[in-house]
Amino acid sequence: MMRNIILKILLIILGIVSAVAMLFTAQLVYFAYVQDYYFGLEILGLIISILGYITLNKLEKQKPKEVVKVIYKTIDRPQETKAKEDTQKKEKETINQIIKSCIKDLDKFTDSLEDFGDQLFKNLSKTLNIVTGMLFLWDKSKEKYYTADTYAFYREDTYKEYQMGEGLIGQVAKDRKTLYIDNVPEGYIQTLSGLGKGTPRYLIILPIVKNGFTIAVLEFATFNPIPEPAEKILETLSKKLSDLNLGFEELS
């Protein structure tokens, strides 16, 4: 409704301006005729004004889509900007709320890596609904990542250690970038309960980095996808874990 009103007002203003231009040009033509001064030029101006008036009437009747689109875009720009700002604000609030829940009380367990892992998996279970997880720490003497803690993890063979760049764990550690797999192969990860075994479909492996070196790698899996914006949430989680004042630095 408001758009139509604004469009009509603009067309009326253009019509008035065109009409005034026609009258002004006609007056110039009259004086030009009497005074025989630039007569041909003024006639040309009159023709241009008439063509402009005809075009304006055609525009008002037909309302070409392209012209209307430009006018609407100009009118809607402040609304689009506000909508974009509101979306960004809501997204930021969502990320902050999720991350806050993921790292809750972790600063209380700086003296025990095992307790730290237990609390972390507890938070992730409540916030992101993870069903299994592993925490790998860097062993400086062996130059490998070993399993420091697990959550609901089922494996028939022994826990494997990873060198830098070896397997997905070692590759994430080397690249220092989070890996998010949304179609885990059947049997790659298994969870075990009283009802039987199951394979989660979503796998997340994220690095914990200190001073440019990956001192730990967190791996966990879910049956459901990470809430959107998943990429930003996981990147922020990796950074927040890296910023925690824990004893991990001593291991690297």
Give the residue ranges of DSSP H helices in the chain: 2-35, 39-62, 65-102, 113-128, 167-175, 230-243
Within a 10 A sphere around the Cβ of 126, how many other Cβ atoms?
A: 12
Q: 139-143, 155-159, 207-211: which has the minimum mean pLDDT?
A: 155-159
User: pLDDT tens-digit profile of 30-81?
Assistant: 555 555 555 555 565 666 666 665 655 655 555 555 555 555 555 556 677 7
Q: What is the pLDDT of residue 3?
A: 56
As a whole number, mean pLDDT of residues 110-120 equals: 85
Q: What is the pLDDT of residue 51?
A: 60
| Domain 107-251 in CATH 3.30.450.40 | yes
pLDDT band at 251 (very low <50, low <70, confident <90, very high): very low
> Which residue ranges make up each domain of the chain?
2-94, 107-251
Q: What is the pLDDT of residue 252?
A: 47
Q: What is the pLDDT of residue 160?
A: 85
The Cα-based distances of 75 to 72, 162, 169, 243 in angstroms read: 5, 59, 52, 45
Q: Is the peptide bond before 225 cis (omega within 30 degrees of 0)?
A: no
Closest CA to 134 of 189, 75, 213, 214: 189
As a whole number, mean pLDDT of residues 242-252 equals: 66
**Is 247 a residue whose pLDDT tops 60?**
yes
Tokens of 11: 């067309």
